Amino acid sequence: MQRFFSYIESRLSGFYSRNEIKSISHMLLRQIAGISSAQIYADKDTKITDYTVNELNTAVDRLANGEPVQYILGCCEFFGLDFKVRSGVLIPRPETEELVELILKDHRKEKIQLLDIGTGSGCIAVSLAKNLPEARIFAWDISPTALEIAAENALLNKVNIDLSKHDIREYETFTKDSRQWDVIVSNPPYVCESEISEMEGHVLNHEPHLALFVKDEDPLIFYRIISEFALKTLKKGGCLYFEINSHLGEETVRLIQSYPFDSVRLFQDLSGRDRMIRAIL
């Protein structure tokens, strides 16, 4: 096993930091070789079968070609739960866990109707459904692939979610004029096209651009549309939550404050970057 650590570091040192390589190594050993974290730390001389070595080598080759480890393994962990992921759906990020935690802090014991717009893998909706057993959770996405994976993740984690294919940009064509939501949450596309050069290759070349990018001339398009939708469909006192581009925190706050919400608050993530907004109607 020690030889594997040396091998993967030599293959990936130009692509990932040492800490990232260590994390990836542990993920591969757990998922492919079936070696627990305790075994990895306790016995670095554990033998690995030739068949497993071949599987690990194949995975390392794919990593060296820039493919994300989550797509290679077909899974990832989010908010303490297991999620299936594959090409065509955005890989859940740790920052989004903080958005889930914020919503749970505000609504943990409430019986609410909640809508997740642009659900992707379903990581937000599933995590909330798992921790809000009295809530009714709805999730929308424009991508059939995302909805398929979200349904698999709801089944995997034994929760019920009402999934629908909708393009929020066309909400006026399918939304009834009724105030039905207690909470609306969205982690919409927010990476500006001008930021593409700053992105890592394994993200840019493999994750769905539809879920990532917005045009520079209108970077807050989804925040504007979803805010307008929320004004028409949130119940009085209802909450709207966003994950945001950390470079556009103040701009996003000003946009949402231009609508008649009673309260708009900006939150930072654990790294101190502007990351979440909560607006109360």
What pTM was computed for the model?
0.92
Residue 267 has pLDDT above 80, yes or no: yes
Q: Give the Cα separation of 119 and 124 in Å (integer).
A: 7
- Region 87-112: mean pLDDT is 94
> How much is the pLDDT for 205?
67
Per-residue pLDDT tens for 39-71? 877 765 677 888 888 999 999 999 998 899 999
What count of Cα atoms within 13 Å lies in the side-chain half-sphere of residue 182?
Answer: 13
Handedness of CA 172, 175, 181, 185 (dihedral sign): negative
CATH domain 82-280 topology = Rossmann fold (3.40.50)
Domain boundaries, the chain: 2-65, 82-280
pLDDT of residue 217: 94
Q: What is the mean pLDDT of residues 124-135?
A: 97
Residues facing 121 on adjacent strands: none
What angle in degrees, to the nearest 10, is found between the helix axes of 2-12 and 50-64?
20
Between 77-81, 107-111, 149-153, the lowest mean confidence (pLDDT) is in: 107-111
Q: pLDDT digits over 202-257, tens only? A: 666 676 877 788 888 999 999 999 999 999 999 999 999 999 999 999 999 999 99
Return the structure tokens found at 279: 């607006």
